[in-house]
Copies of this chain bind each other. A is one copy, B any other.
Amino acid sequence: MHHEPTSGTVPVHLRIADALRAQITSGELQPGQAIPSTKVLAQDWHCSVGVARMAVAVLMDEGRLSGGRGKPATVRRAPTRRPLTLSSDWSQLQKDMVHRPESERRERGAIELTAGVPISATNSSANYQQVLATPEIASEFDLPVGVEVVQRTYEMTDKESGMRLSWSVSYIPLEYIRDNPALLDESNEPWPGGHQHQLSTVGIEIDRFVRKVTAIQPTTGDRQVWHMEPGVPLLHVRSKSVDIEGRVVEMSDAVYPADRAEILYVEQLKRWDLERGQK
């Protein structure tokens, strides 16, 4: 028995979602507060519980509700994101450290990947593998497909919770570093001074980093290892290191859950009064 001809053309579950979303943004439903149960929503809107569930599923996917498993769905609190600084200042500092003693490098070495969490509270695991460049990887290096590259995957987890804090995979063409076998030794992790120092041992000087940032939707597997809630995208950062001869000598992919991290960077400009007459 149908009550109304669905009045408009907007599906019922979307109308319920719109109503709830309005209540959330207006503050009528506060963060942490529970929304009405699916059964109540079904009664209020004269629909089946299945439709009510579809409505809350919409808001879950939008990241507005955090939910379920025996507990009522609640309004998600605004996430606090750790800034992930990728500014030239910091990269320059890393470059300057290349010629500093190892003790100093080791101390600050892994900051790159922890983004603020003390190294002592983390476990890290690295893995080296010699692989053949896929078409995608080869095109980034502008080298032929199938060329040998060293693949390094790196993962850090929180000691207490076991939660993953960072994950990245980087590639260096084997021919560029063949002269220094130490670069293939996993026991050196985390790399003191980062790959900038490692590359400097074979005479490669980095001129610039080129980074591309985009976002993707996590798979269910991603959600498990990151302990992510539904409705949270993954930030994907692809960095390339270009040396002073214009060659791409290193490429890395890293991902971060968008509810915990944000990419922060600074563009420094020159002063007007300092550049008079130049260029």
Contact = CB atoms under 8 A, between A and B. Distances in A.
Interface of A: 14, 17-18, 21, 58, 61-63, 81, 83, 86-88, 91-92, 95-96, 99, 205-220, 231-235, 244, 258, 261-272, 275, 279
A252 to B, nearest CB: 14
Contacts of A214: 81, 235, 258, 261-263
A271 B207 CA distance: 7
Shortest 10 CB-CB contacts between residues of A and residues of B: A215-B215, A233-B233, A215-B258, A214-B262, A215-B233, A213-B263, A209-B267, A88-B267, A63-B217, A208-B268
A203 to B, nearest CB: 11
Chain A contact surface mostly: mixed
Given A265-B211, A266-B209, A63 B271 contact: no
Contacts of A267: 86-88, 91, 208-211, 265
A8 to B, nearest CB: 14
Nearest to A270: B92
Contact of A266 (B92, B206, B208, B232): B208
Given A96-B279, A206-B269, A220-B17, A264 B211 contact: yes
Query: How many copies of this protein are present in the complex?
Result: 2
Nearest to A79: B214
A154 to B, nearest CB: 20
Contacts of A206: 269
A205 B265 contact: no
A207 B233 CA distance: 32
B233 A95 contact: no
A213 B279 CA distance: 31
30 contacts: A18-B220, A21-B219, A61-B217, A62-B217, A62-B218, A62-B219, A63-B216, A83-B212, A96-B275, A208-B266, A209-B266, A209-B267, A209-B269, A211-B263, A211-B265, A211-B266, A212-B263, A212-B264, A213-B262, A213-B263, A214-B261, A214-B263, A215-B215, A215-B233, A215-B258, A217-B232, A217-B233, A233-B258, A263-B263, A265-B267
Contacts of A205: 271-272
A214 B258 CA distance: 6
Given A212-B262, A214-B81, A233-B217, A269 B21 contact: no
Contacts of A14: 220
User: Counting chain B CB atoms within 10 Å of each CB, which of A211, A231, A232 scores highest?
Assistant: A211
Contacts of A88: 88, 267-269
A127 to B, nearest CB: 21
Nearest to A275: B96
